[in-house]
Structure 1
Amino acid sequence: MNVLFFSSKVYDTEFFNQSNTRHKHTLNFLEVPLNRNTAVLAKGHEAVCIFVNDKANAEVLQLLAEQGVRLVALRCAGFNNVDLEAAQKLGIKVVRVPAYSPYSVAEHTLALILTLNRKTHRAYNRVKEGNFALNGLMGFDLHGKTVGLIGLGKIGLVTARILKGFGCRVLGYDVIKRDEFDEIGIEFTELPALYSESDIISLHCPLTPQTHHLINKESIASMKQGVMLINTSRGALIDTKAVIAALKTAHISYLGLDVYEEEADLFFEDLSDKVIQDDVFMRLLSFNNVLITGHQAFFTRNAMEGIASVTLQNISDFESGKMLANQIAN
């Protein structure tokens, strides 16, 4: 099949071409994102491959259909950027990568927790300048702390196992309770108890209308004073302005983000020679107890190999008329 990649980077070209040796699709890569202005570039392609910040709303999908596109292949797990109802009406199938290396995101979550706690990023800069003073670098033992995980899919469960290895008490909430939670030692609980008892809260749930701004003024008010909040899932799970207000009062004492609700205009690009116009984001960067990475939690060689393999298999299955195991149903 002829497949057009939007929002592609050098590493996408590398891993997808490598994995394509057995699928033999024709892959074309564009750096531009998918939106209403770029959808016409898909002319002559039966499938498009998109990423987290590409826009596949009803208008864009209509334009894709007019170019002959019959398949939208997401090279990620999340699909909140696709209008599934519109896709169904247009006869466009939508597939995704429901699971890639869960260790990549889980381990990055722990990296954020440990860095914020032990302030290794600040210590690194101090030592480079010849400053070996310890003032302001004190952390706490992770052992014995209570960590609340919201979302207990594959990534959440791997995160729980790692935290149990540190000697943490792990609380967990999900819409479905499974036997595996007890086997790992997760104390399944409702959100009010998780908020009030957790020293650290980490988000691992998808973005849906129900989870949009799950972390807001009201939920923050029920959290412990001095809580650590981590988000490696989807940016819009957090009401950023509410979090900034809580940082200013020290209700939230540590914030670790790999995602941001308005990241589409920022992440995955080198903006070092530009003035960033997002005042809310710049306010976040002004806090010394905030650590932000640019949506890199997934970015390991293992995960990229898995994403490429599953995405191309999804496309091959569509081409051969097989059942689409990873199709997103409306």
Structure 2
Amino acid sequence: MKIAFFSTKSYDKEFFETYQDQQEIHFKYFSASLSIDTVALARGYDGVCVFVNDKLEEETLQQLAAVGVKLIVLRCAGFNNVNIEAAEKLNMKVYRVPAYSPQAVAEHALALILTLNRKTHKAYNRVRDGNFSLERLQGFNLQHKTIGVIGTGKIGASFCKIMQGFTDSILAYDKYENETVKAMGVKYVDLEYLLENSDIISLHCPLTPETKYLIDATSLQNLKNGCMLINTSRGALIHTGDAIEALKEGKLGYLGIDVYEQEEHLFFRDLSENIIQDDQIARLISFPNVLITSHQGFLTKEALQEIAKVTFQNILDFQAGKETENRVVSN
């Protein structure tokens, strides 16, 4: 089976080539992302393998079907970048990797919290410049702080477990309560209560029409003054313009993001010699209490191994006509 592999990075090839010799599955690696402008690259392939910023909208899917593509395999858990209903109408099957490493993303959320709080990134740069001053590096103890967790699937549950090592006050909000999380002693509350009472809030929910701009001007005004907000899920959970205003007002005390709603124009590429045209990301970078990483929460050896392994299995299941829980279907 021939698969066109889009948005390829060196680490993708490293881990996928480990499995490629074991199966009759042949990848052609393209560095380009998949969109309406690059569909022609998929001509002659049975399927496409895509990542978070590949755009599979209805017109793109129609053209993929026209060149013979029958399978879409995602190298990620989220699938908001694929029009699932359109894919089904075209008799194209979509598979994802639902839980490649919840711990990897949860641990990265903690890294953002600790770095923002204790300013280790600033201390590192100071010491390299011979500056050993401790001025303006003050942080706060996490012990006894209230942590709010929005979204308690596998990643959210892993994050709750990690944070129990720091505090016994964890609040959670989710439309569907996780019994495992409840058994940990985490208290489920409504969203308004969580926003008003949390010192740190971490987002771990998928991007859906219901959750888009979950954090906007209204919800930001409900935050406890100086609250820290962390997002390692999807960029459009936060209305960026509203977050900037809350930072300027001092309502939002810290912001740590591994995702950004316009990241497809920025992330996963070296733009160090370019003028950044995105005024919002430039404004965020200018804040001393904002920390941005470029969607690296998944980037651990264990996660990359699991992504490759499960993606190969998804392709084999498609070939065998086997239905699995990894297949994405419309509601």
- The TM-score, its normalising length taken from structure 1, stands at 0.99
C-alpha distance in 2 between matches for 1:17 and 1:180: 36
C-alpha distance in 1 between matches for 2:241 and 2:324: 40
Shift of 1:182: 2.2
Question: Are the equivalent residues in 2 in contact too, given 1:318–1:324 (CA < 8 A)?
Answer: no
Match of 2:4 in 1: 4
The code of the aligned residue for 1:264 comes to: E
| SS of equivalent residue, structure 1 residue 274 | coil
* CA deviations over 1:202-235 (Å, ceiling 9, x no partner): 0000000000000000001111000000000000
Aligned residues: 330
User: Where does 1:273-288 land on structure 2 (aligned, <5 Å)?
Assistant: 273-288=273-288
Match of 2:177 in 1: 177
Match of 1:254 in 2: 254
> Where does the alignment leave 5 or more consecutive residues of structure 2 unmatched?
none
C-alpha distance in 1 between matches for 2:139 and 2:325: 46
User: Are 1:195 and 2:204 matched, yes or no?
Assistant: no
| SS of equivalent residue, structure 2 residue 328 | coil
C-alpha distance in 2 between matches for 1:101 and 1:86: 29
Shift of 1:19: 2.0
The code of the aligned residue for 1:197 comes to: N
Deviates more, 1:218-227 or 1:19-28: 19-28
| SS of equivalent residue, structure 1 residue 256 | strand
User: Where does 1:1-330 land on structure 2 (aligned, <5 Å)?
Assistant: 1-330=1-330
C-alpha distance in 1 between matches for 2:303 and 2:140: 31
C-alpha distance in 2 between matches for 1:193 and 1:179: 20
Deviates more, 1:12-21 or 1:223-232: 12-21
C-alpha distance in 1 between matches for 2:178 and 2:272: 45
* CA deviations over 1:170-214 (Å, ceiling 9, x no partner): 100111113212221211111000000000000000000000000
C-alpha distance in 2 between matches for 1:193 and 1:11: 42
Question: Are the equivalent residues in 2 in contact too, given 1:6–1:48 (CA < 8 A)?
Answer: yes
Which 4+ stretches in 1 moved above 3 angstroms?
none
| SS of equivalent residue, structure 2 residue 164 | helix
C-alpha distance in 1 between matches for 2:46 and 2:105: 32
Shift of 1:22: 2.5
* CA deviations over 1:236-294 (Å, ceiling 9, x no partner): 00000000000001111111000000000000000111111000110000001000000
* CA deviations over 1:40-60 (Å, ceiling 9, x no partner): 111111110000000100000
C-alpha distance in 2 between matches for 1:207 and 1:272: 29
Deviates more, 1:103-112 or 1:14-23: 14-23
> Where does the alignment leave 5 or more consecutive residues of structure 1 unmatched?
none
C-alpha distance in 1 between matches for 2:227 and 2:279: 24
| SS of equivalent residue, structure 2 residue 327 | coil
Shift of 1:115: 0.3
C-alpha distance in 2 between matches for 1:179 and 1:71: 34
RMSD: 0.8
| Identical pairs, percent | 54
Question: Are the equivalent residues in 2 in contact too, given 1:115–1:121 (CA < 8 A)?
Answer: yes
C-alpha distance in 2 between matches for 1:178 and 1:287: 36
* CA deviations over 1:69-89 (Å, ceiling 9, x no partner): 000101100101101111011
Shift of 1:315: 0.5
Shift of 1:168: 4.1
